[in-house]
Amino acid sequence: MDCVEFDALEEQARAKLSAPAFAFLATGADDEITALENATAWRRLRLRPHVLRDIGKVDTRVSLLGATVATPIVVAPMGRHKLFHTEGERASARGAAAAGALYTLATSANVPLEDAAAECGAAPQWFQLYMWPNRAEIETLLDRVAAAKFRALVLTVDNQVYGSSPRQMRAQYVPSPDIRNVNMPGAPMARTAYDPEYKGKVMFPTTWRELEWLVKRAPMDVVVKGVLRGDDAARCVDLGAKAIIVSNHGGRHLDTSVPTAEALGDVVDSVRGKAEVYVDGGIRRGTDILKALALGARAVFVGRPVLWALATGGADGVRAVLEHLHDELIRAMQLCGIASLSAAKPDLVAHARQFDSNLA
């Protein structure tokens, strides 16, 4: 796969999927400003390469909560994969493992978590959690997650109330009895986040109390996903979170929220090395990944491109996209004189407005 093929994937997915399924994959909230700006924010950053360095051997290995993986590219938690491929999360997990990438399974997966875990083999895997009021049900799920050898728990905290998507409303998804969120109590049909019946409802009641309880109860490390402020990140760490994912949910709920590229530095500074920091949102190039790592992220999470690949090529498509991004990362590192991820420092990055006063 080359960059032209990668750029064509979204349109290939559009052609293959039903209009409601593609709308759910692609949409952002309201005017979709944040969904667009996530990607453009990385492009506004510029690289300041080093020269005359030995880049004959590049090492992209990274330790994520104690597990060494071959690449700092992680598959973000996304639900309802059977909307995009008949094998659902089994295919996406298998593709990630083939690429040597860490895989994160969502609470709203359409296959049993044990089946997705089996596809990962020895590769590390994390589980994303939404909270709901019945803690006994959550505890049962946590015990299943631990038994299946998931190594970390990713608590999503930025969508207690779902956003609104005009694009999805114009192509409303009708739930199918064959596609269910099988790991949730009662295995409900997989309705999308933009179902009219959800309007204004608090779907996943989560406060600092729930985080404090989860850190004490979970038999694995807790990662908090959906943080855009340094003060919130610091408090998460004080309560026991081992890592923070700087994320605005791909711009899918609160439109005009700050792009993740612009929020990353504040979170890194506030955490002060007490926890690992990751970032998602608009990662489309190996240069985006290198910029994120230079600004303090230990890894990046990739979302929509994985689903484009799943829809068009199943597990092999997922592997190809992840390998393509990894190849781009290696080339960007070499061209910037960076032989290891630890050598990527903040002074590698400058904002484009430093070079073009006409940029807003």
Tokens 């298998």 appear where? 94
The phi and psi torsions of 64 (rounded to 5 degrees) equal -115, 105
3-class SS of residue 48 = coil
What's the rounded Cα separation, in Å, for the pair 176 and 174? Answer: 6
180 forms beta bridges with 189
In the numeric block, which tokens belong to residue 240?
Answer: 């026991």
In the numeric block, which tokens belong to residue 272?
Answer: 């002060």
49: DSSP letter: -
Could you tell me the sign of the dihedral formed by the alpha carbons of 55, 60, 61, 62, in that order?
Answer: positive
Q: Provide the H-helix boundaries in the chain.
A: 3-16, 19-26, 33-44, 89-98, 113-120, 135-147, 166-170, 208-217, 230-238, 260-271, 286-294, 304-335
What's the rounded Cα separation, in Å, for the pair 12 and 25? Answer: 13
Contact yes or no for 125/102 (Cβ under 8 A)? yes
3-class SS of residue 249 = helix
Which of 81, 85, 249, 253 is labelled catalytic?
Answer: 249
Active-site residue flag, 253? no
Contact yes or no for 193/162 (Cβ under 8 A)? yes
Contact yes or no for 281/227 (Cβ under 8 A)? no
Pairing of strands 67-69, 276-280: unpaired
Q: Which residues, 6 or more positions from 187, have their beta carbon under 8 angstroms from its beta carbon? A: 180, 181
**Positions marked active-site:** 249
